[in-house]
């Protein structure tokens, strides 16, 4: 199918699912859309015996959508910028240490735990996979996307400081996880025996620190440009150029585009929006990026559901995937518990912080895209199936129960 047809199909289907969810199901938009997409995939698979031509056509269509390319090289930049632009920098500064440790140390802990435990599981099933590839899987499954349930948690009346922790961590840990993944991928390509840990450390610092610095440069370039004009049409276009152009240049500079987008979004959402824009422009800018966030999330979760048409699950991988759910939850709990335990020496944390952050740490499209980025020689097909099982479970089960779970915890401690 031509690219124009793919775009049309994707947008129309996402809109149909969004309408059906809003009109009848009334679940959180991203979760409802993914459930409808997943249900459609299941119906198509089950109808394969009756209408094999229809199923084959649907699979060809789903396979023609390059999920990894679409998310990693286009959607991720806009999603991260759109999320960061609404972050209050003053409130984020007060929660800087929790956000920093959860998104860096927490992601590293999760990567190591998931990698090590997954390696042991594969050994148990007599399916020896090199440890470095299991570590790569740890980086794949460690980024969380609680933004999808943040509206539910707010309705459960979680404290504002916890809201900021969740928002900040979800933005930065995506960028950190991509940096860890890229670093481990480079090590895997070189071969574990030939790894120079000094070079690996330099690559990590280049990606991470370079991304943060480049994001600040982008943010301030946008600030000076927006300060010199007063036309909301041009101002919105400038912010779009910051994202599209900045992410493209970051890739060529070999610095982290995701981290750059988070920093640029925070600067645009605070310094630029309040010092360089009129009230009218500020209103248009906020609504534009809120709409972009909603549309892209709808498309993203619809595509996650459709991925079921093209993945191949067997009994062993299904069982390993189910075990992987418990591994991912345990690693998430440890990666939250240890930083919070350390910070509690000097900082106050809300009751049930660890429980809410653990259960609310959904895995999303970034994990699927990273799994699809693996080479075939790195057991990509196996890791894609396991990742998909964990992602679907976290969105459907954790996403639909986190609101009641948070309300129960708050009521219990009232």
CB 18, CB 29: distance < 8 Å: yes
Q: Nearest CA to 164 among 243, 79, 285, 266?
A: 266
Q: How far apart are CA 393 and CA 381, in angstroms?
A: 19
295: left (phi over 0), alpha (psi -120 to 50) or beta: alpha
In a domain, 24, yes or no: no
pLDDT tens profile 51-88: 777 778 888 878 888 888 888 888 999 999 998 998 88
Local structure of residue 375 (DSSP, 8 states): -
Distance (Å) of CA 293 to CA 86, 153, 235, 337? 11, 18, 18, 30
pLDDT tens profile 257-292: 999 999 999 999 898 877 888 888 889 999 999 999
Of the pLDDT bands very low, low, confident and very high (cuts 50, 70, 90), residue 194 is low
In a domain, 107, yes or no: yes
In a domain, 56, yes or no: no
- Rounded to the nearest 10 degrees, the angle between the axes of helix 365-372 and helix 131-141 is 150
In a domain, 41, yes or no: no
Q: Residue 228 is part of which domain span?
A: 68-412
In a domain, 47, yes or no: no
In a domain, 277, yes or no: yes
For the entire predicted model, the pTM comes to 0.91
Of the pLDDT bands very low, low, confident and very high (cuts 50, 70, 90), residue 351 is confident
In a domain, 245, yes or no: yes
**Beta strand spans in 111-175 (E):** none
CATH assignment of the domain containing 347: 1.20.1530.20
In a domain, 15, yes or no: no
CB 148, CB 364: distance < 8 Å: yes
How many domains does the chain contain in total? Answer: 1
pLDDT tens profile 370-379: 998 898 889 9
Q: What is the mean pLDDT of residues 305-312?
A: 85
């Amino acid at each position: 199918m031509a690219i124009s047809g793919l775009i049309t199909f994707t947008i129309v289907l996402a809109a149909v699912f969004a309408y059906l969810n809003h009109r009848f199901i009334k679940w959180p938009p991203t979760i409802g859309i993914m459930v409808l997409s997943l249900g459609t995939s299941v119906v198509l698979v089950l109808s394969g015996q009756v209408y094999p031509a229809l199923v084959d056509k649907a699979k060809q269509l789903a396979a023609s959508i390059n999920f990894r390319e679409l998310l990693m090289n286009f959607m991720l930049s806009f999603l991260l910028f759109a999320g960061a632009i609404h972050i209050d920098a003053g409130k984020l500064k007060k929660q800087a240490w929790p956000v920093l440790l959860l998104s860096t140390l927490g992601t590293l802990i999760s990567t190591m735990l998931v990698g090590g435990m997954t390696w042991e599981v594969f050994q148990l099933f007599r399916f020896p996979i090199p440890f470095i590839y299991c570590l790569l899987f740890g980086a794949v499954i460690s980024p969380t996307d609680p933004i999808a349930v943040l509206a539910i948690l707010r309705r459960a009346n979680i404290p504002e400081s916890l809201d900021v922790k969740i928002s900040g961590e979800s933005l930065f840990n995506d960028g950190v996880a991509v940096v860890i993944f890229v670093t481990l991928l480079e090590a895997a390509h070189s071969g574990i025996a030939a790894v120079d840990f000094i070079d690996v450390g330099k690559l990590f610092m280049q990606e991470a620190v370079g991304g943060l610095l480049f994001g600040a440069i982008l943010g301030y370039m946008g600030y000076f440009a927006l300060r010199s004009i007063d036309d909301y049409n041009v101002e919105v276009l400038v912010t779009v150029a910051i994202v599209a152009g900045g992410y493209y240049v970051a890739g060529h500079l070999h610095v982290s585009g995701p981290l750059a987008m988070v920093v640029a979004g925070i600067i645009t959402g605070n310094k630029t929006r309040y010092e360089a824009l009129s009230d009218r422009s500020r209103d248009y800018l906020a609504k534009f990026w809120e709409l972009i966030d909603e549309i892209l999330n709808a498309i993203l979760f619809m595509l996650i559901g459709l991925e079921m048409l093209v993945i191949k699950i067997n009994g062993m991988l299904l069982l390993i995937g189910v075990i992987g759910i418990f591994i991912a939850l345990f690693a998430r709990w440890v990666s939250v518990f240890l930083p919070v335990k350390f910070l509690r020496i000097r900082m106050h944390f809300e009751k049930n912080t660890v429980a809410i952050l653990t259960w609310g740490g959904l895995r999303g499209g970034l994990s699927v895209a990273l799994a699809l980025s693996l080479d075939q020689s790195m057991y990509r097909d196996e890791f894609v199936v396991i990742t998909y099982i964990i992602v679907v479970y976290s969105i459907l089960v954790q996403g639909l129960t986190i609101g009641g779970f948070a309300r129960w915890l708050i009521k219990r401690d009232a």
